[in-house]
Chain A
Amino acid sequence: MEILSALIDGIYQALQPINLGLCIIGVVVGLFVGAMPGLGSVNGVAILLPFTFVIQELTGSATSPMIFLAAIYYGAMYGGAISSITLGIPGASTAVATTFDGRPLALKGKAERALVTAAIASFIGATVANIFFTAFAPPLASVALKFGNPEIFALMLLAFSTFIGLGGDDIPKTIISIALGLVLATVGFDIITGEPRLQFGDPLDFFPATESWIDTTGFSHGIRFLVLAIGVYGIGEMIWTINSTRGNVTMTEANVNFSSVWAAIKAFPRAFKGTFVGSFLGFFVGILPAAGATPGSLMAYGVTKMMSKDKDSYGKGNVNGIAAPEAANNSASTGAMLPMMTLGIPGSPTTAVLLAGMVIWGLQPGPLLFSEQPDFVWPLIGSFYVSNLVAVLVNLAFIPVFLWMLRMPFTILAPMIFVLSVIGTYAAYQNMFDVWLMLLFGIGAYLMRILDYPLAPAVLAIVLGPIAEPTLRQSLLLSDGDFSIFFNRPIAGPITVIALILLFLPLITLIFGKLRGSKPATS
């Protein structure tokens, strides 16, 4: 009952004109970035985060900027389907599975049916996830209040292990990405001893002659996560998209008017099974760090297809094949917020950026947020419901506008994103050193991405590094350098063991696979 009244109060706060306005703007921006190939929720949130400082200054609270970014996150989940269906190119990786059936249905001349199915399934998925979030977040936060440094570090270990064990990317490359992000987070000064660390001094550190080559004093303030995030998602991703699309984008026209939308809404119950599977599966996959909306939507698609009696119709325009991934990616995006808000561990790169934003706005994400900052938490949760409703209405009402916007040539969009990335980085820290660094990270990210280096773990690591290192060192200080502290505490112990199992999961799978493979030979 207490939760319900807090929620109603939160929704009321979220409906205040300034918050509602930010919600609507955020959803529209999110729909746009989600729909544009090459941009996704993480790009939108990372590039626009510097601009939220103004919102905080104007409103005097951290709630409004967070509502704005959460609305972008929501909108982007809806928007991804638009380009998947009409262009055949997923607006974001989270909408890849939507392409499987959305594009064939559009090619059959039923683009509006695909778009409406995606919008309604997204709405139902997000609503189910919001209810779960409201129910689970406060009790989880109260359990997490008992967490000390060893427990928090164990959770960090779990987050990184999940990337290695379940991320599905090349393992050594994932480890490099995580380690690189964590090491970059240590640049600057050690917060425990105050010693300067990895400030690079002269570029080669061997020859005094190189001292004046590059001014590296900028490293003294550390490498800010936003510099890496905008570099990776603003510059690297755009160059990647320029090369991967090569300008070959053909758009399917959709006949969108009131009667076609209404007919599609009436036909929606046929997509119920996919929506149901996606809504529930998406939420629980979204909670897992490293999983998030992309694997959530792919799994939901696979499970719905597996459960179907008519498997052959999938990939040819089955509405359940659209509803399942769309419900799942929206549900997972809310699911990813759960560990971020209650434990301070982001479940996806976008929530990592949101978490870093919260730190910048002066909040400490984690269990204390619920007890110490209810004025922040409940309006934000309320805004999830409001954003969801706004997103589905805006999506259905403005489908023709988004289709028109999608016709914007990429050769106009790309330079605008580059300009926004450069200005955004400068505006955040007001120094050109960070802008140059952002560009270098962007180029480096592109060069690494060609070779399948996953970059999301690096962004997550640079955000979590400043939490992981002090908690590890303080835990070891507590135990006189004895690592058993992570195993013999009632909460930290099981988490550490699960983290280690996940860490070695690929090795265990390999050994089991070999054993199973050798059995027929020996029998």
Chain B
Amino acid sequence: MTAATDLGTHPASRQGVTSRRFLSRFEPYFYAAPAIVLLVTVMMVPLVVGLTYTVRDIRILNPFSGGYVGFAHFEAIWHDQNFHNALYNTFWWTVSSLFFQFFLGLTLALLLNRTFPGRRIIQSLVFLPWAVPAFLSGLNWAWMFNPVISPLPQWLFTLGILSEPTNILSDPDLAMWGPIIANIWFGIPFFAITLLAALQSIPGEIYEAASIDGASRKQQFVSITLPFLAPTIAITLMLRTIWIANFADLIIVMTNGGPADSTQIVSSYIFTQAFRRLDFGYASAIAAVLLVLLMAYAVSIIFIRRSLLRET
């Protein structure tokens, strides 16, 4: 104990220059080490283990499971009508959520990128949905669509959007719009926050110079604002696509995939397989398929962006 404290109080005099050089060389790694260790043990190792599950029969309550099954899971996925349906739903879920989140978020960011009385309080309030836990947004919106305790179905009926003031969550043709609307509500602030940050980093002098040159506001938007926002837009759209495609919370809470699987997306289907049927082998195989599809998407977006940059 005392020896250790002695060492601690006079490290420089005892160990000299070499150890200090050693320290400074490895210093960056000391700072990054905890993050790396954590990511490797909690995310990378499970990912690799999860990939090995895709070729094994892993059912939690079955002591005889665990055997090697080759590509049987992938063959089953290929013929699984529920999976095809989930894939189709994932596409619509992602595209429509993203479309509205992005355009409404961009408009909001542009509105907030001016100085006006009340701006700070309005900004805090419109960003609030992002702080609402996803499960709570889901529950809340599930209640909002219930015609008995919420005026929303009646309003939609009055506006002519619904032919009857019923609960859209129980109508297989319309149910997907429930989670999508909840997702739009929840996701607008994300785009607004990131795009507002990007807007605020555009130097004001550029606009001043442009307006002296007689450029209209529309021209300024097209030739200054959009090019400045483009990198942020590209990266946030890509990340959000992947996050939304993976985002099962709202659907699990609001509809649990129903009615009649009309809102089942791939990630909620994985969850159903793992959690309700405890078939982890099959769930992992579906997850691997989703992973490959999303990676292909990300790589192709990066590729398209590169070739566009090269052209200009």
Asked whether A and B interact, the reply is no
Residues of B whose CB lies within 8 Å of any CB of A are none
Residues of A whose CB lies within 8 Å of any CB of B are none
